[in-house]
A and B are shown apart, each in its own frame.
Chain A
Amino acid sequence: KAGVTQTPRYLIKTRGQQVTLSCSPISGHRSVSWYQQTPGQGLQFLFEYFSETQRNKGNFPGRFSGRQFSNSRSEMNVSTLELGDSALYLCASAERAGGHAEQYFGPGTRLTVT
């Protein structure tokens, strides 16, 4: 079974731009969660989608948004990029909502904002 895939793997953007990241979950997984990982803050939860509905949301500003499609693929968008948005963005998929112990992470998208 193929793992979680994320595209692109690396991205460089300029302050003020917006970016869209994509995540394809493991086949059969309907939950997709997004995380931001930085050296100083560690891993921080952004949001979780299950069956196209946002179930949980972390403490991030409204510039961070996401969506999930009927095939469970998910995208996250960050608008008006700031330097502090530079991070590794990880998505994780699971069969059921809130299935943290059964989450499988993708390799991440490394976003650099200049």
Chain B
Amino acid sequence: GESVGLHLPTLSVQEGDNSIINCAYSNSASDYFIWYKQESGKGPQFIIDIRSNMDKRQGQRVTVLLNKTVKHLSLQIAATQPGDSAVYFCAERPTGNQFYFGTGTSLTVIP
């Protein structure tokens, strides 16, 4: 899984399978989290967010789970498609409106 400052991990999944991308955040005071998707040659794209008063939030084919006890965030992508191939990274907001971003996980979908 991903963690702020570490090398970029990779994940390969078969098309149609579910993907789980993990993120370990650093600050227990963080109250807001965002997952981004970044395709090659493009800027990051917002996928889904979650506030610290929730432990799960669902979007279209994506679910974010938050475990504040262990400071862990995960992104689940259902029925992964080739277009999901990208780098995914999380962001946490410890104080004010300053965000801290992870380095990302590279997801490759195998057709």
Contacts and interface: CB of A to CB of B under 8 A. Distances in A.
A45 interface: yes
A79 B101 CA distance: 25
A108 interface: yes
A103 B46 contact: yes
22 contacts: A4-B43, A39-B103, A40-B7, A40-B103, A42-B101, A42-B102, A44-B101, A45-B99, A45-B101, A48-B97, A56-B96, A90-B44, A92-B44, A98-B97, A100-B34, A100-B93, A100-B97, A101-B46, A102-B46, A105-B45, A107-B41, A107-B43
Contact of A106 (B4, B43, B104): B43
B23 to A, nearest CB: 11
A101 B34 contact: yes
Interface residues of B, number: 24
A100 B43 contact: no
Interface in B87-111: 89, 91, 93, 96-99, 101-104
Main secondary structure of the interface of B (DSSP, over half): loop
Given A45-B99, A56-B97, A101-B34, A90 B43 contact: yes
Contacts of B32: 100
Interface bracket on A: 20 to 34
Interface of A: 4, 39-45, 48, 55-56, 58, 90, 92, 98, 100-103, 105-108
A44 B104 CA distance: 13
B65 interface: no
A108 B43 contact: yes
A45 B101 CA distance: 9
A107 B42 contact: yes
